[in-house]
């Protein structure tokens, strides 16, 4: 029976028909079983922290498995060919699996809008893990696939939607570049970025507050604490925010890792910079989640319409609608 799996993959690989995952120090394609792969990690003293299930899940993607890749405002769906490979030069994408993604008559990837998905499925896409089982949503995904095979790609991927997706991607890249280089009206010194993250958290349903800088012990530094409670569960986040250009280092991970808390918490480093595979792996071992600049700009873009007028003005975002089709 085929599996349904969500994989967060670098776009440069997806558009070529591949999905990619990190752990560049190990070539997954050279192993015949996940047990041998995990044994190699341990013998090489590569600590994978809590990522074993994700590593095994990615390794075990087989021919016929359904792969879902989240993109801004939509998802891509494809079927794995089972072919595996290893390559360098793409961050977080050294280990790869070939996927036949659904495409329209022009050969463009079909983007299924998130607003067309069930609330539960759309919510699951927000999970920050890189490789996630979607087995509980298999019936819904199979219905979408049946529609695509029946010629329904026009429903999901019109010419206007293709242009809209390009505009969104262009906006996301430009917004990140502006934030990194200081071409905004956000308060300087990191405070502006903290306020922006605070607003995004509140839009995601969290109660959140910026923490006082005094009174934190040693290297520990928590910028924001956030809480969310519902009928079934509660979540607490401790967040370190870094307004960086270039690449972030391990110091931010150490700062948030050192923060003591009696409750069960999720620790996050949110940075506008790039993050190396090595740093991401070290963070996983330290039970610290990382959101890099690309991921942050995607998060910001998904909430642009709901941002306060003040924040939109500080970011230089126009409120004037623009036309995708012009004379």
DSSP 203-236: HTT-EEEEPPSTT--TT----EEEEEE-SS-EEE
Domains of the chain: total: 2
CA 86 to chain centre: 21
pLDDT: which is higher, 167 or 41: 41
Boundary-marking domain end, from 121, 156, 191: 156
Q: What is the pLDDT of residue 325?
A: 63
Question: Same structural domain for residues 206 and 149?
Answer: no
Question: Same structural domain for residues 244 and 151?
Answer: no
Q: What is the mean pLDDT of residues 311-325?
A: 81
Please state, in angstroms and rounded to a whole number, the distance separating the CA atoms of residues 223 and 239.
Answer: 6
pLDDT-derived band at 142 (thresholds 50, 70, 90) equals very high
Question: Same structural domain for residues 142 and 95?
Answer: yes
Please state, in angstroms and rounded to a whole number, the distance separating the CA atoms of residues 268 and 248.
Answer: 14
Let me know: does 290 contact 279? Beta carbons within 8 Å.
Answer: yes
Asked whether residue 164 is domain-assigned, the answer is: no
Question: Same structural domain for residues 249 and 303?
Answer: yes
pLDDT: which is higher, 71 or 4: 4
Coil vs helix vs strand at 237: strand
Per-residue pLDDT reduced to its tens digit, 182-215 = 999 999 878 999 999 999 999 999 999 999 876 5
Please state, in angstroms and rounded to a whole number, the distance separating the CA atoms of residues 292 and 69.
Answer: 18
Please state, in angstroms and rounded to a whole number, the distance separating the CA atoms of residues 33 and 55.
Answer: 12
Asked whether residue 322 is domain-assigned, the answer is: no
Strand partners, 74: 71, 113
Let me know: does 246 contact 263? Beta carbons within 8 Å.
Answer: no
Boundary-marking domain end, from 105, 123, 156: 156
- In this structure, what token pair is assigned to residue 93? 């994408």
Question: Same structural domain for residues 82 and 203?
Answer: no
Asked whether residue 162 is domain-assigned, the answer is: no
Question: Same structural domain for residues 227 and 192?
Answer: yes
Q: What is the pLDDT of residue 235?
A: 87
- Cβ neighbours of residue 74 under 8 Å, at least 6 residues apart? 111, 112, 113, 114, 165
pLDDT-derived band at 116 (thresholds 50, 70, 90) equals confident
Question: Same structural domain for residues 203 and 117?
Answer: no
Asked whether residue 326 is domain-assigned, the answer is: no
- Domain of residue 92, residue span: 4-156
The closest alpha carbon to 200, from 302, 129, 271, belongs to 302
Question: Same structural domain for residues 152 and 184?
Answer: no
Question: Same structural domain for residues 287 and 213?
Answer: yes
Length of the chain: 327
Asked whether residue 131 is domain-assigned, the answer is: yes
Which CATH number covers residue 272?
3.40.1350.10
Question: Same structural domain for residues 225 and 298?
Answer: yes
Q: What is the pLDDT of residue 250?
A: 65
Boundary-marking domain end, from 156, 188, 208: 156
pLDDT-derived band at 105 (thresholds 50, 70, 90) equals confident
Please state, in angstroms and rounded to a whole number, the distance separating the CA atoms of residues 237 and 267.
Answer: 6
Question: Same structural domain for residues 147 and 198?
Answer: no
Q: How many H-runs (helices) and E-runs (strands) does the chain carry? A: 12, 12
Asked whether residue 170 is domain-assigned, the answer is: no
Question: Same structural domain for residues 106 and 31?
Answer: yes
Burial of 146 (0-12, 13-18, 19+ CB in 10 A): exposed
Asked whether residue 283 is domain-assigned, the answer is: yes
Q: What is the DSSP letter of 155?
A: H
Report whether pLDDT(18) > 70.
Answer: yes
Per-residue pLDDT reduced to its tens digit, 72-104 = 888 999 999 999 999 998 888 999 999 999 998
Pairing of strands 266-271, 234-242: parallel
Asked whether residue 14 is domain-assigned, the answer is: yes
């Amino acid at each position: 029976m085929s599996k349904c799996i969500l994989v967060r993959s670098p776009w440069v690989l997806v558009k070529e028909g591949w999905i990619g995952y990190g752990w560049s120090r190990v070539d997954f394609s050279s192993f015949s079983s996940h047990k041998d792969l995990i044994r190699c990690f341990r013998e090489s003293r590569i600590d994978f922290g809590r990522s074993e299930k994700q590593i095994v899940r990615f390794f075990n993607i087989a021919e016929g498995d359904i792969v879902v890749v989240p993109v801004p405002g939509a998802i891509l769906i494809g079927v794995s060919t089972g072919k595996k490979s290893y390559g360098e030069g793409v961050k977080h994408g050294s280990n790869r699996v070939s996927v036949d993604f659904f495409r329209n008559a022009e050969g463009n990837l079909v983007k299924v809008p998130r607003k067309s998905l069930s609330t539960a499925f759309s919510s699951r896409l927000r999970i920050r893990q890189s490789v996630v089982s979607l087995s509980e949503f298999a019936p819904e995904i199979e219905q979408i696939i049946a529609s695509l095979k029946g010629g329904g790609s026009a429903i999901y991927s019109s010419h206007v939607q293709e242009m809209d997706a390009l505009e969104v991607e262009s906006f996301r890249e430009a917004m990140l570049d502006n934030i990194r280089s200081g071409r905004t009206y956000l308060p300087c010194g990191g405070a502006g970025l903290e306020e922006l993250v605070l607003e995004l958290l509140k839009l995601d349903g969290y109660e959140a507050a910026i923490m006082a800088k005094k009174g934190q012990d040693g290297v520990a530094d928590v910028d924001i604490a956030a809480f969310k409670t519902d009928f079934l569960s509660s979540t607490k986040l401790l967040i370190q925010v870094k307004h960086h250009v270039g690449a972030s280092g391990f110091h931010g991970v150490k700062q948030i890792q050192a923060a003591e808390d009696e409750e069960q918490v999720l620790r996050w480093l949110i940075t506008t910079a790039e993050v190396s595979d090595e740093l991401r792996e070290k963070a996983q071992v330290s039970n610290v989640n990382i959101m890099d600049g690309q991921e942050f700009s995607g998060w910001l873009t998904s909430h642009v319409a709901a941002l306060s007028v003040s924040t939109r003005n500080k970011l230089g975002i126009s409120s004037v609608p623009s036309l995708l089709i012009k004379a």
